[in-house]
């Protein structure tokens, strides 16, 4: 199996979380670097959901990879609140709206929904039923939208 950048990020995040290496943002952290890190994590999530969707739609026959992608998504989703620390609202181009920090409780709840739906996807994916995986992937997509709509600047068309 070829290790992609997104899979490597997911694996590193899971190991760091499990070993307690992940810590709070330090005042010494450069906001631009925090934003870059955050964007890498979010891109990892997007890459994994795209790969799973390709399998669920029957575009590729890598059904055996879905559980790994789903587990990586579940690991990355847990990181979301931590990668949006106060003070990282500016410093580099970002699609994060100021509403994240103005309405933190709503943002944290939306992030928790994605975490929960991603964990459920990992459970479903372990069963290997592509139909059930596709249905749960739809729930993950709704959870993504539940955060993107209120908290992410719309991309220019």
- Print pLDDT tens along the chain (157 aa): 454 554 444 445 444 444 444 444 465 689 999 999 999 999 999 999 999 999 999 999 999 999 999 999 999 999 999 999 999 998 899 999 999 999 999 999 999 999 999 999 999 999 999 999 999 999 999 999 999 999 999 877 6
Predicted pLDDT at 4: 52
- Model pTM? 0.81
| Residue whose C-alpha is closest to residue 69's, from 1, 148, 131 | 1
Predicted pLDDT at 26: 60
Q: Spell out where 97-157 has E strands.
A: none
- What phi, psi does 96 have (nearest 5°)? -75, 125
**DSSP tag of 154:** P
Q: Which fold has domain 5-20+29-81+95-151?
A: 1.20.120
Predicted pLDDT at 13: 46
């Amino acid at each position: 199996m070829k290790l992609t950048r997104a899979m490597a990020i997911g694996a590193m995040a899971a190991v760091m979380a499990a070993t307690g290496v992940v810590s709070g943002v330090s005042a010494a952290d450069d906001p631009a670097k925090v934003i870059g890190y955050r964007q890498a994590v979010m891109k990892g999530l997007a890459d994994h959901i795209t790969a799973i969707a390709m399998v669920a739609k029957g575009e590729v026959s890598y059904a055996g990879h879905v559980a790994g992608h789903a587990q990586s998504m579940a690991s990355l989703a847990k990181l979301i609140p931590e990668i949006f620390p106060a003070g990282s609202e500016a410093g580099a181009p970002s699609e994060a709206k100021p509403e994240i920090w103005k309405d933190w409780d709503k943002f944290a709840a939306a992030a928790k929904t994605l975490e929960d739906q991603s964990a459920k996807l990992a459970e479903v994916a372990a069963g290997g039923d592509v139909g059930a995986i596709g249905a749960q992937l739809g729930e993950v997509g709704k959870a993504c939208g539940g955060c993107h709509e209120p908290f992410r600047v719309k991309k220019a068309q």
